[in-house]
Amino acid sequence: MSLWSDAAFAIIAVLLVLAAVAFAFALWCQFRPHRWQAPMLRLFALVMLLNAGSHLALSLITASIMPGLVTALLVIVPVFGWIVLRAVDSPK
């Protein structure tokens, strides 16, 4: 019996890929800024942070660990929090 099911592994893999793509896009925005990049990146990051917040809130409400909570706290919040903070500082 495996600790990770195939579905759980697939979801984590997809989330890690999405986080890596967004992080790469954030770096690209820092080195080659355009007017639309920072607002779009900030919007995407805020949506991801809202999703992470929903996992945390539902875990607290149900007093159980919701699927995605660990990924939200260890990957989504730090990466997309950094993106929100850096996107605000990007040159116009």
pLDDT digits (tens, 9 = 90+) for 52-92: 999 999 999 999 988 888 989 999 999 999 888 876 554 55
Report the pLDDT value the prediction gives residue 89, as an integer from 0 to 100.
Answer: 55
Q: Pick the more confident residue, 2 or 17.
A: 17
Torsions phi, psi for 35 (to 5 deg): -60, -40
Residue 49 lies inside a defined structural domain of this protein: yes
pLDDT digits (tens, 9 = 90+) for 18-34: 888 878 877 877 787 77
Distance of CA 72 to the CA centre of its chain: 7
Structural domain including 67 reads 6-88
User: What distances in angstroms separate CA 14 from CA 10, 17, 78, one per listed residue?
Assistant: 6, 5, 17
Report the pLDDT value the prediction gives residue 8, as an integer from 0 to 100.
Answer: 77
Predicted TM-score (pTM) of the model is 0.59
Residue 72 one-letter amino acid: A
The total number of structural domains in the chain stands at 1
Indicate if the pLDDT at residue 12 is higher than 70.
yes
Residue 60 lies inside a defined structural domain of this protein: yes
